[in-house]
Amino acid sequence: MTTEIFIRALYALAIAGIGIGVYNLTNRLVLRRALNGNFLGMDDLKPGIAAILYFTSPTCVPCKTVQRPAIQSVKKIMGKDLQVIEIDASASPEIADYWGVLSVPTTFIIGKNGQPAHINHGVTLEKKLLSQLEKYA
């Protein structure tokens, strides 16, 4: 009985590890694709200033209640050193598809050099956004 539980736990860990690996690989591929592209949807990007590229939709409750307030708080802290580019994924599906957005909210951290540096699927709290921006702003 104990051996069976141990084997099942190993299978569960292996499946979780594979899932994490696929997630990380997908993020790297999306960022690499974006690095080689023409940065669709970033016409308003100001050079030399870090940015948060934020994909949302009008029906996204976590976007309104958690993500947007977190981004506004980060913007307030960083002031002129940060720009936020918000894109409605439902109104611009071609841009969302280009960036590999499968769900909202999704945020990208764009460094001062104009290059995508991080991708966050789902709600990302203020502390994590600040930590990511710290390296690139």
Residue 15: C-alpha distances to residues 11, 19, 89, 107 (Å): 6, 6, 31, 26
**The pLDDT value given to residue 40:** 67
**Distance from C-alpha of 122 to C-alpha of 78, rounded to nearest angstrom:** 22
**The pLDDT value given to residue 119:** 92
**The pLDDT value given to residue 59:** 97
**The pLDDT value given to residue 113:** 86
**Distance from C-alpha of 35 to C-alpha of 110, rounded to nearest angstrom:** 10
For the chain, the structural domain boundaries read 33-134
**Distance from C-alpha of 124 to C-alpha of 25, rounded to nearest angstrom:** 19
For residues 14 and 7, the answer to whether their CB atoms sit within 8 Å is no
**The pLDDT value given to residue 67:** 98
Q: For the domain made up of 33-134, give the CATH fold.
A: Glutaredoxin (3.40.30)
**The pLDDT value given to residue 33:** 65
**The pLDDT value given to residue 39:** 67
**Distance from C-alpha of 71 to C-alpha of 76, rounded to nearest angstrom:** 9
**The pLDDT value given to residue 135:** 84
**Distance from C-alpha of 2 to C-alpha of 6, rounded to nearest angstrom:** 6
**The pLDDT value given to residue 22:** 81
Counting residues of the chain whose pLDDT is more than 70, the rounded percentage is 91
Which parts of the chain register pLDDT below 50?
A: none
